[in-house]
Amino acid sequence: MTELHDLSAVALAAAIRNREVSSREALTHFVQRVDRLDGPLNCVVTRDLDAAYAAAEAADEALARGDKGLGPLHGVPMTVKDSFSTAGMRTTSGAPELSEHVPTEDAWPVAALRRSGAVIWGKTNLPIYAGDLQSYNEVFGTTHNPWDIERTPGGSSGGSAAALAARFTPLELGSDIGGSIRLPSHMSGVYGHKPSYGIVPAHGQIPGPPGSLTLADLAVAGPMARTVEDLELGLSVMTGPDRWNSPAWRLELPPARQRELPRFRVAAWFDDASCPLDPEVATVLHGLSDRLEAAGCAVDRDARPGFDLSKVAERFYGLLNAALSGGYSVGDLERFATAQGDGAVAVTKRQTAMRHRQWLSHNESRLQMRRKFEQYFEQVDVLLLPVMPTVAFHHDHSEPMSARMVSTEAGMRPYWELTRWMAPAGACYLPATVIPVGIGAASGMPIGVQIVGPYLHDHTTLAFASALGELVGPCPTPAGFGG
């Protein structure tokens, strides 16, 4: 039998359901694996084993009784990002002021996973309030990349991605407002899906403060895994109406437009002057287009949605900084509004303090771009984008964050420039699936691709990812974590 830690969530659920392994045995296997291998990585930062073993034993007893109607993740142990509230288990979002915070209710995606039968036993690390491309904080310290511990696994769902890459969990729950599912999936070599905005209710995530009811603009919750099948299952479990719309709102996502690789109408947007790719990333992604064409898939390398990356990035960063402004005091915002200069720090401050009329302008521009994407996807099924212009970079915790520079093959680059390819799907509410498609020749680090589709056509991006996975092979394993 394949090692338990190498099984997908779907396969592990089947093994538990068929009584090939018990939920308790599976939980013990993952706990012992984390005990043995997590020291240098620091992925899993909180555990509640008493509650987890009680849930695992209850799952085993239900199977022994022959109970019917068990969920698709019945008995499957998993971890979740520490920004999601977990009833009875510490939830800190990496913030010292929340270091002893123990919620009394689950976040909605966590509750949905539990209803499906999942046994949630641990929390994975992140930056403070999920606000960085790296995963470190004063409460738990720094999480390291399983491929190279001198590099970050990404952020903000970096602990989630690292735990998946190291085979500490078969499934994870991440969140994404500025790329926090997509960036770590690329940097750690795992799969991630940023859902269409609004289809996965994320009540109970921190930030905002515990008890907040606001669902922030751009922000989504979504699954992370090592197979597309697990992403599909995770998405199906978590989708639905939020608390305000549940009396009447129902969700029926369109079926995948295609299933077979040669039948997809594919566009590849890998070149843009505002964010050129490092040579090793460009080699892998352009090589992917070549491989798709060799497999019989028509790839349009020139089709664009009617605007360039610079334009959508400008709107994205404005909307993103506005969405993140709630954590600042009135005094902070008044000071930010008067920041002078065109540097990254000053621009970020002014965007964070923008007036509502400025936000309305950004939003109208976003809606115009969404309209262009609607027209674009009449001729195209999926759009392939880079995730980042470089591979996972070395740790840098200098402040201020927006003034950081990253050393890459192409030279020193501004920190937030690395998120520019997050803009099209992020600003326009589109689904985006990330899967690893190669290894960088210079760095030996994984490289992912972003598969973007029309709004609410999540099944299309997932179907293409599944077909593409057959071409590029399974999720890679970092050295030292395959046994």
Residue 323 sits at the vertex; the CA angle it makes with 108 and 157, to the nearest 5 degrees, is: 55
Q: List per-block mean pLDDT (blocks of 10 residues) for the chain, which spans 483 residues.
A: 90 98 98 98 98 98 97 98 98 98 98 98 98 98 98 98 98 98 98 98 94 93 98 98 93 97 98 96 98 97 96 96 86 88 86 90 97 98 98 97 92 95 98 98 98 98 98 97 87
Note whether 281 and 413 are same-domain residues. Answer: yes
Does any domain span residue 121?
Answer: yes
Identify the CA nearest to 14 among candidates 3, 25, 23, 5: 23
The CA distance from 35 to 441, in Å, is 32
| Active site (annotated) includes residue 398 | no
The CA distance from 175 to 158, in Å, is 11
Does any domain span residue 155?
Answer: yes
Domain boundary among the residues 188, 204, 238 is at 238
Does any domain span residue 250?
Answer: no
- State the DSSP string of 314-364: HHHHHHHHHHTGGGS-HHHHHHHHT--SSSHHHHHHHHHT--HHHHHHHHH
Note whether 203 and 287 are same-domain residues. Answer: no
| Active site (annotated) includes residue 81 | yes
Does any domain span residue 252?
Answer: no
Please state, as a whole number, how many other Cβ atoms lie within 10 Å of the Cβ of residue 266: 24
Exposure of 59 by Cβ count < 10 A (0-12 exposed, 13-18 middle, 19+ buried)?
A: buried
Note whether 272 and 192 are same-domain residues. Answer: no
Note whether 177 and 218 are same-domain residues. Answer: yes
The CA distance from 352 to 63, in Å, is 52
Note whether 228 and 267 are same-domain residues. Answer: no
Identify the CA nearest to 168 among candidates 24, 19, 27, 319: 27
Packed helices 9-17 and 228-238: angle between N→C axes, nearest 10 degrees: 80
Does any domain span residue 359?
Answer: no
Choose the catalytic residue: 83, 156, 175, 188. 156
Choose the catalytic residue: 8, 22, 23, 81. 81
Note whether 276 and 144 are same-domain residues. Answer: no
Exposure of 65 by Cβ count < 10 A (0-12 exposed, 13-18 middle, 19+ buried)?
A: exposed
Does any domain span residue 162?
Answer: yes
Note whether 280 and 402 are same-domain residues. Answer: yes
CATH label of the domain that carries residue 221: 3.90.1300.10
Domain boundary among the residues 238, 273, 298 is at 238
Q: What is the per-residue pLDDT for 230?
A: 98
Choose the catalytic residue: 22, 116, 180, 443. 180
Q: What is the per-residue pLDDT for 330?
A: 87
Helix, strand, coil shares, percent, the chain, to 5: 40, 15, 45
The CA distance from 4 to 6, in Å, is 5
Note whether 234 and 280 are same-domain residues. Answer: no
How close are the terminal C-alpha atoms of the chain, in Å? 13
Does any domain span residue 243?
Answer: no
Full domain range(s) for residue 178: 4-238
Note whether 23 and 57 are same-domain residues. Answer: yes
- Taking the whole predicted model, whether its pTM rises above 0.85 is answered as yes
The CA distance from 186 to 268, in Å, is 17
Q: What is the per-residue pLDDT for 324?
A: 87
Note whether 268 and 219 are same-domain residues. Answer: no
Note whether 13 and 109 are same-domain residues. Answer: yes
Note whether 119 and 77 are same-domain residues. Answer: yes
Give pLDDT tens digits for 305-331. Answer: 999 999 999 999 999 999 988 878 889
Does any domain span residue 93?
Answer: yes
Number of compact structural domains in the chain: 2
